[in-house]
Amino acid sequence: MTQERLADLKAQATTDKFLASFVNRVIAQADEIKRKGPLEYEITANLTMLGVSRDCVNRVYTLGMAWRWTGDRTYLYAGIDAIVRASEFPDWNPSHFLDTAEMSHAVGLGYDWFFHELTGVQKQTIRKGLVRNGLQPGLDAYGGNDPIEPRRKRRYGWWKDCDHNWNIVCNCGLIIGALAVAETDPEYAQAIIPAAAASMPRALEMFGPDGAWAEGPGYWGFATRYLAYGFTALRTALDTDLGLLSTDGVSEAGLAPIYVTGPTDLYFNYADSKTRNRRRPMFQMFWLSDTFQNAFLAGDEHRLLADQKPTAQHVVWYVPKPRAPEELRTLDKHFRGPVQLALMRSSWDADALFVGFKAGYNQANHGHLDLGSFELDALGVRWIRDLGSDLYTLPGYWDGKRGGKRWEYWNLGTFSHNVITIDAKNQDPLATASMTQYESETETTFAIVDLSKAYLESAKSVTRGIRLVEGRRAVLTQDEISVHERSTIVWGITTDAQIDILSDREARLTLDGNLLYARILSGEATFSTTEAPEAEPPMLSTEGIRRLHATLETANPDTLAVLLSPVWPDGATETCEIKPLLAWKSGA
């Protein structure tokens, strides 16, 4: 937010009613923050101070924008108080380095925005605190492979070698802090920026080639948020992106949350995403729109902001609403890469049929044992759902090896997901699965996933296909399974709907006054229903959640096909033709 940028925005706000309304809301938010108590050092029971760091980030952006826009010095004094107090903290909890990185961002930004209003003593306090609590631990992390001090890498720096959100957040937070004091303490920027440039490709490559994110839609938001922070700082301070934003897939990332959101506004909720996680405005959509010259992203963000609150960051990265909003040209989207997704829908209307279908690898950070899982929206409700994460503080939550405690939690293991199980076993936690075929045509679309490695102990091969059929009015799931010996195969879905078993091969689901029928079209299976297992506190409640199962006993190669038919105003699909997955080709 350079002075030139601020002046341009102020001029624009005289005619842009959207920007003017955003500014007014941010000022109201700043008024609320002024009434809050002072920022305080606090380490929670799970040994983090991330909430404090994020509170400081929010205070700096909101109070800082309100002051810079209005000139009201009460906002300035409240903002200065926050970063001075943070700088006087004994540490920023480097053992959980996200806390350190986000606080480095907050204090570095505040030091930059408030610099000319700070006293000499305040400047010294802030600069010393930023170096002591943020930048020096950062240097320790980057140099953690030094044989003289190998422990430092274990304590602080493992994230520089990882490929997930920690990499981007920690690198970008340190970049912002280092740039803030580069004039007085240049050695930190000279060391941190090249180290970050060497580290970040590991994570940025995870967007390739199409822009999705292996950790789920929630962490897509966290990672891209810090891309906006860090790379805007680099651009405004050094006029460079270090050549990193040309990494394959980054320019496409803005399409991921749009396609991964169903017509219910709920995400396709794979990995550790919050239960019933709903898409909300994210300022980085403005950054992505501006950086990669994609006006559609800005238009879609304005659509979300029509009835939801903007943040101060929406003002900082503001992009005007396009005069003639574009529309997405395709109903379906295939995201390739470490996580492989097929998103299929009947239209972009609120009552459309929508399916999200997943492949990839079970060891993805924040991943679940959910290869081949899917979710289904139709008639304005989510019929088949993923429960998302449980509490991160549960014992063994991060123990994701084979036999690890993580897979005993129902939300995370195979049994809560919309997949098959064989002989009541979890999928292999080390398994990968490839989306071997994907096609999108006017009347239909489908994807096929080879799940054999997920069930290697029990089966010779497992392949799942999901297809929209009957003019995209219904969904066919088809599993082709060849087991080693006689086995019990259970097809299962998780739902909030009331389930009525009408016969061995037909079930009716009722939700919010709507109906959906499930019919077994192939395989000698029978339907049954169960309630979700009761969750013991502090695990998240599973009350009201049900499972529909189709159980098949077989010793031979078999096909289990289930048709899921919403009851549209003109009726539901009764059946459809069953063909081998190898014949699922256009016109076949």
Q: Which CATH number fits the domain that encloses residue 176?
A: 1.50.10.100
In whole angstroms, give the CA distance from residue 393 to residue 98: 16
Same domain for 486 and 344: yes
| Domain end position, chosen among 144, 170, 199 | 199
Rg, the chain, Cα only: 26
| Domain end position, chosen among 164, 199, 234 | 199
For 304, the token pair is 């979300």
pLDDT of the chain, 588 residues: tens digit per residue: 999 999 999 999 999 999 999 999 999 999 999 999 999 999 998 899 999 999 999 999 999 999 999 999 999 999 999 999 999 999 999 999 999 999 999 999 999 999 999 999 999 999 999 999 999 999 999 985 444 444 444 467 999 999 999 999 999 999 999 999 999 999 999 999 999 999 999 999 999 999 999 999 999 999 999 999 999 999 999 999 999 999 999 999 999 999 999 999 999 999 999 999 999 999 999 999 999 999 999 999 999 999 899 999 999 999 999 987 677 889 999 999 999 999 999 999 999 999 999 999 999 999 999 999 999 999 999 999 999 999 999 999 999 999 999 999 999 999 999 999 999 999 999 999 999 999 999 899 999 999 999 999 999 999 999 999 999 999 999 999 999 999 999 999 999 999 999 999 999 999 999 999 999 999 999 999 999 999 999 999 999 999 999 999 999 999 999 999 999 999 999 999 999 999 997 555
Residue 14 falls within a domain, yes or no?
no
Residue 412 falls within a domain, yes or no?
yes
CA of residue 568 relative to chain centroid, distance: 31
Residue 149 falls within a domain, yes or no?
yes
Which CATH number fits the domain that encloses residue 451?
2.70.98.70
In whole angstroms, give the CA distance from residue 237 to residue 352: 46
Residue 218 falls within a domain, yes or no?
no
Residue 254 falls within a domain, yes or no?
no
Same domain for 341 and 192: no
Q: Which residue in the block uniquely carries the two structure tokens 């077994």?
A: 520
Residue 7 falls within a domain, yes or no?
no
Q: Which residues contact 583 (CB under 8 A, 6 or more apart)?
A: none
Contact 459, 558 (CB under 8 A): no
Sign of CA dihedral 94, 97, 98, 104: positive
| Domain end position, chosen among 165, 180, 199 | 199
Name the pairing type of β-strands 374-378 and 354-361: antiparallel
User: What type of residue sits at position 45?
Assistant: A
Domain range for residue 188? 36-199
Torsion of CA 243, 249, 253, 255, to 10 degrees: 140
Q: Which residues contact 373 (CB under 8 A, 6 or more apart)?
A: 270, 357, 358, 386, 417, 418, 419
Q: Which residues contact 196 (CB under 8 A, 6 or more apart)?
A: 171, 172, 174, 175, 230
For 68, the token pair is 């810079």
Report how many domains make up the chain.
2
Check residue 147 and give its pLDDT: 42
Residue 121 falls within a domain, yes or no?
yes
